[in-house]
């Protein structure tokens, strides 16, 4: 019988617990993506039998580094040492063979397969070429029980709620013969009780000599479980310290840098009348619970309203609903005091909503089209002469946007893919503006673009607010949202859990409000509350 439970084997030989016993080391890793440098000469030491924590803001390069260690991405330069010997990881399979397992941040499960099939995918136990279903089911049940969960091994993964899917992902990693287990934000979708269980499992793995690399945004959590902390910022390693020597403020300071606010421009502006009113916006989640749990708020003319929250808190669902991309949503919306009856995306655009989506590449741009064609895609109706497109007017409109948003292109006919991330994002914003919207919905507008471009995007937002647009702005970056927003709403588990004016808001308050329903102190009873 193949041994699928390495984690249960005691490994006495790893009892030597020297602090500087490095099992794996990524040395001088640089990774360049088109338009951005994700990692710049980063050295990361992984200590044997410890929980090695990696922190940094979104876009700091954590996930890229993990993908390199797991063989998913190849570094542009630099090398990886395992037990002192250089290794080359060309595929996830290479990493698996060397005993490196990973739990990905984005769930990588086949939703069409059952829990047991997912757990054993590509590691099936067979007898005479036939899958030993009973045995696998038994093992799956054991793993799930070990994680103190009650999940039917025969259930389809697609029918489980996200938290349970995360448990399946963890169970899957535990079937491998791992020496090193990478966990990329494993708790982002878990409840407080589930996090406790996960921590118990991590401690157990540690006691069996398994090395853990752990990534999370929840700083308090890291101090509970971490042994060693490495901080990345904008693709650089900025600090490395034993967890016993650090505090939450230290981590925040290292992650954010000294003077984060200087990048962003925000001027006090007088706010206009109520532009948008949303009441009881609700979106049920497939498989249980709510993506949006009776959300109500108002937006004034010229206001930048920031939405902060953890991954999966419902912020993107909220802007999607407003843009008309979620037909299942219920609730009432008024714009300029008039109820909005429009349901579909194109009707909502007519009504004055426009979304700059989170995933620029897959939802924001049509890659084969030029800069100009992308820009005009949402407003072609405005540039018609009879039934034909009026190229001249199109060109004028595109040129005007390129000037106003200072998009750096040699020629509007240039392929969109030749632009840097920041300039591509500006094209998506320009596309939105050309529809002549009233409410601009920006979902993580600065994600994956460099610091300079971030600053430019923030400048553009300020200008737009000054022109009386209402701006709704979703971001996971604390410094950015604090610096940019006139008012901040914090979401957790689909509900608004905090509201702060620009003056009131602090990083601490936002973090606390975003953890409502996650932390051990609150058991989800604080829904609908405001954190003021």
Partner 1 sequence: MEQEIKTNSAPLKKRRSITKTDVLQFLLRGRAFIALILVLVVFSFLTPQFMTPNNLVIMSKQVAIRALLAIGMTFVILTGGIDLSVGSIVGMIAMIAGGLINEGINLPQLGVIIYPHTWMIILISLALGTLTGAFVGLIITRYNVAPFIATLGMFYVARGIAGLRNNGYTFPNLVGRPEYGNTGFEILGAGSFLGITYSIWLMVILMLAAYIVTTRTPFGRHVYAIGGNERAAELSGVRVSRTKIIVYSISGFCSALVGLIVASQLVAAHPLTGESYELTAIAAVVLGGTSLSGGRGSIGGTLIGAFVIGVLNVGLVMMGVSSFWQKVITGSVIVLAVIIDQVQARMQEQIALQQQQDMK
Enumerate binding residues for partner 1 (CB under 8 A): 72, 92-93, 96, 104, 108-113, 117, 121-124, 126, 129-131, 133, 172, 284-289, 328
Query: Does residue 278 contact residue 322 with C-beta atoms inside 8 Å?
Result: yes
b/e code 498-527 from CB counts within 10 Å (16+ = b): bbbebeebebebbbbbbbbbbeeebeeebb
CA 238, CA 240: separation in Å to the nearest integer?
7
Residue at token pair 């979902």: 443
Smallest distance from partner 1 to CB 96, Å: 5
Q: 127: exposed, middle or buried (C-beta count within 10 Å: 0-12, 13-18, 19+)?
A: exposed
Instruction: Determine the longest span between alpha carbons in the chain, in angstroms.
Output: 81
- DSSP string spanning 112-129? TSBHHHHHTTT---EETT
Query: Which one-letter DSSP state was computed for residue 370?
Result: B
Tokens describing residue 322:
């407003």
Nearer to partner 1, 15 or 122 (CB): 122
CA 311, CA 277: separation in Å to the nearest integer?
25
Give, to the nearest 10 degrees, the angle between helix 421-433 and helix 451-466.
20
Nearer to partner 1, 122 or 410 (CB): 122
Query: Does residue 497 contact residue 529 with C-beta atoms inside 8 Å?
Result: yes
Smallest distance from partner 1 to CB 72, Å: 7
Smallest distance from partner 1 to CB 416, Å: 22
- DSSP run (H or E) holding 273: none
- DSSP run (H or E) holding 130: strand 130-131
Nearer to partner 1, 294 or 334 (CB): 294
- DSSP run (H or E) holding 241: strand 236-242
CA 214, CA 195: separation in Å to the nearest integer?
13
Nearer to partner 1, 32 or 121 (CB): 121
Smallest distance from partner 1 to CB 4, Å: 14
Nearer to partner 1, 122 or 387 (CB): 122
Nearer to partner 1, 114 or 514 (CB): 114
- DSSP string spanning 484-526? H-SEEEEEETTEEEEEEETTT--HHHHHHHHTTTTSSS--STT
CA 210, CA 6: separation in Å to the nearest integer?
10
Nearer to partner 1, 31 or 172 (CB): 172
Smallest distance from partner 1 to CB 175, Å: 10
For residue 30, how far is the Cα from the chain centroid? 22
Nearer to partner 1, 184 or 477 (CB): 184
Nearer to partner 1, 108 or 522 (CB): 108
Reported residue count of the chain is 532
Nearer to partner 1, 129 or 337 (CB): 129
Tokens describing residue 504:
């009131």
Q: How far is CA 514 from CA 250, 259, 476, in A?
A: 20, 23, 10
Nearer to partner 1, 97 or 385 (CB): 97
Q: What is the CA radius of gyration of the chain?
A: 24
Smallest distance from partner 1 to CB 325, Å: 16
Tokens describing residue 127:
């007898």
Smallest distance from partner 1 to CB 111, Å: 6
Smallest distance from partner 1 to CB 120, Å: 8
């Amino acid at each position: 019988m193949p041994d699928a439970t390495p984690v249960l084997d005691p490994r006495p030989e790893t009892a030597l617990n020297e602090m500087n016993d490095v099992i794996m080391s990524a040395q001088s890793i640089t990774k360049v993506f088109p338009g951005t440098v994700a990692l710049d000469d980063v050295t990361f030491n992984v200590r044997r039998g410890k929980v090695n924590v990696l922190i940094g803001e979104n876009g700091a390069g954590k996930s890229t580094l993990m993908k390199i260690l797991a063989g998913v991405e190849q570094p542009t330069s630099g090398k990886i040492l395992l037990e002192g010997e250089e290794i080359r990881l060309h595929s996830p399979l290479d990493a698996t063979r060397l005993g490196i397992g990973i739990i990905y941040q984005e769930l990588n499960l086949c939703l069409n397969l059952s829990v047991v099939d997912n757990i054993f995918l590509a590691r099936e136990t067979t007898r005479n070429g036939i899958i030993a279903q009973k045995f696998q089911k038994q093992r799956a049940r054991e793993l799930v029980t070990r994680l103190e969960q009650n999940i039917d091994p025969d259930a389809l993964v697609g029918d489980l709620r996200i938290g349970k899917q995360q448990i399946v992902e963890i169970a899957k990693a535990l079937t491998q013969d791992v020496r090193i287990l990478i966990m990329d934000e494993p708790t982002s979708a878990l409840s407080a009780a589930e996090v406790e269980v996960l921590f118990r499992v991590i401690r157990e793995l540690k006691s069996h000599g398994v090395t853990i690399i752990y990534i999370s945004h929840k700083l308090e959590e890291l101090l509970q479980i971490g042994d060693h902390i490495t901080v990345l910022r904008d693709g650089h390693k900025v600090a490395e310290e034993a967890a016993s020597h650090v505090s939450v403020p230290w981590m925040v300071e290292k992650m954010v840098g000294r003077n984060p606010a200087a990048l962003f421009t925000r001027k006090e502006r007088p706010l206009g009348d109520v532009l948008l009113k949303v009441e009881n916006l609700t979106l049920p989640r497939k498989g249980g619970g709510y993506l949006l749990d009776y959300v109500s708020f108002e937006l004034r003319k010229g206001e930048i309203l920031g939405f902060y929250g953890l991954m999966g808190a419902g912020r993107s669902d909220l802007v999607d609903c407003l843009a008309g991309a979620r037909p299942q949503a219920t609730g009432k919306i008024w714009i300029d005091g008039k109820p909005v009856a429009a349901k579909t995306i194109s009707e909502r655009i007519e009504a004055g909503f426009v979304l700059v989506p989170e995933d620029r590449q897959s939802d924001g741009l049509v890659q084969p089209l030029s800069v100009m064609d992308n820009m005009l895609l949402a407003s072609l109706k405005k540039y018609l002469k009879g039934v034909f497109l009026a190229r001249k007017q199109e060109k004028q409109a595109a040129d005007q946007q390129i000037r106003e948003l200072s998009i750096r292109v040699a020629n509007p006919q240039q392929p969109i893919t030749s632009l840097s991330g920041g300039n591509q994002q500006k094209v998506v914003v320009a596309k939105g503006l050309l529809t002549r919207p009233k409410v601009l919905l920006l979902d993580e507008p600065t994600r994956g673009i460099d610091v300079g471009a971030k600053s430019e995007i923030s400048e553009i937002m300020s200008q737009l607010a000054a022109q009386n647009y209402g701006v709704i702005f979703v971001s996971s970056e604390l410094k950015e949202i604090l610096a940019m927003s006139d008012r901040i709403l914090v979401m957790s588990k689909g509900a608004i859990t905090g509201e702060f004016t620009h003056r009131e808001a602090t990083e601490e308050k936002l973090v606390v409000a975003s953890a409502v329903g996650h932390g051990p102190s609150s058991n989800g009873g604080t829904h609908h509350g405001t954190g003021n």
